[in-house]
Amino acid sequence: MPRSGASSISFPAFRGTTRRLILANLFAYFALLLTGALSRSAAEWMVGVFAFIPGVFLHGALWQPLTYSFIHLGVLGTAMELLSLWFLAGFLEQMHSPNWVAGLYAASVLGTAIAAAAIYGVSSTLGFSLPVIPLYGCFGGIFGLVVAFGVLYGDMEFMLFPLPIGIKARYLAIVYALIAVAMLFGEQRMYAFAQLGGALAGMIFIRLAPRRGISFAFSEQWYGLRNRYYRWKRRRAARKFEVYMRSQGRTVRFDGNGKQIDEDPNDKKRWN
């Protein structure tokens, strides 16, 4: 559980959703690296196809909001992203279910892409120039994890490596947000706006999603719908049986759940 005092950074267990996300990103990184070693043009083609480019996405590349987070180009940037993903996702997975963490990450990644597409579309409509840069990397998902970390466990303190400085999680999230806001006034405003979109998506997710994850909520809704359907079938069968018994000279009654109501409480013969 989180501690109130400052603590040095220690990476959580490498398991569950955290392990799957990191291994998937590593596989994609080395696949692109190997492709670039064999053919530079093929690697550039892969980046153009799978990175998120708003204009290309709006013209039919609907897979890009799901694939851009697996495109990594630099060794140092990739290492920092994956270490951050390991620490944040692993910590949250200790407190929540793997499905909850996966849903939070996916919502943040999609929110980042939606924000980038939105600001691109608005700039094109209003006619002002916006430098368009392809989005790649899992920065959007990480920003959503940072927001969840800061909101849910804001009082937890840890040491900032390599500086001997303690900082609370909520202040770390605020620093990230302020950096993104400052970047809105620079050349990479689309990138910064996309980051804020990922943060907003993460915030919405932790406010609205159930603790056990989106898939659990969908399964609960599905089972509830199925049970309502079966109760409706039972009530309909009960009404048909009432009509049939009246035609046989007997009167039976059923309650709202389709269960027989006995006229004689001492009668042990029940229709279940």
Query: What is the dihedral angle through the alpha carbons of 240, 244, 250, 254, rounded to the nearest 10 degrees?
Result: -10
Q: What is the pLDDT of residue 7?
A: 46
Q: Is the dihedral of CA 115, 121, 126, 127 positive or negative?
A: positive
Q: What is the pLDDT of residue 136?
A: 92
Q: What is the pLDDT of residue 157?
A: 78
- How many distinct helices (H) and strands (E) make up the chain? 10, 4
Q: Are 19 and 105 in contact (CB under 8 A)?
A: no
Look up tokens 């056990």; give the residue: 212
Domain ranges of the chain: 16-212, 218-261
Please name the residues in contact with 33: beta carbons below 8 A apart, sequence gap of 6 or more.
none
Q: How far apart are the first and last CA of the chain?
A: 49
Q: What is the pLDDT of residue 272?
A: 42
Per residue of the chain (272 residues), give pLDDT as tens: 444 444 445 678 888 999 999 999 999 999 999 999 999 999 999 999 999 998 889 888 899 999 999 999 889 989 999 998 998 999 899 988 898 999 999 999 999 999 999 988 888 777 676 777 889 999 999 999 999 999 998 888 776 555 567 778 888 889 888 988 888 887 788 888 999 999 999 999 998 876 554 554 455 555 667 677 777 777 777 777 777 777 777 777 766 666 666 655 554 444 44
C-alpha 193/C-alpha 190 separation (Å) is 5
C-alpha 182/C-alpha 26 separation (Å) is 31
Look up tokens 């013209």; give the residue: 59
The CATH number for 16-212, chosen from 3.10.20.30, 3.40.1280.10, 1.20.1540.10, 3.30.2020.10, is 1.20.1540.10
Q: What is the pLDDT of residue 103?
A: 92
Q: What is the pLDDT of residue 10?
A: 65
pTM confidence score: 0.72
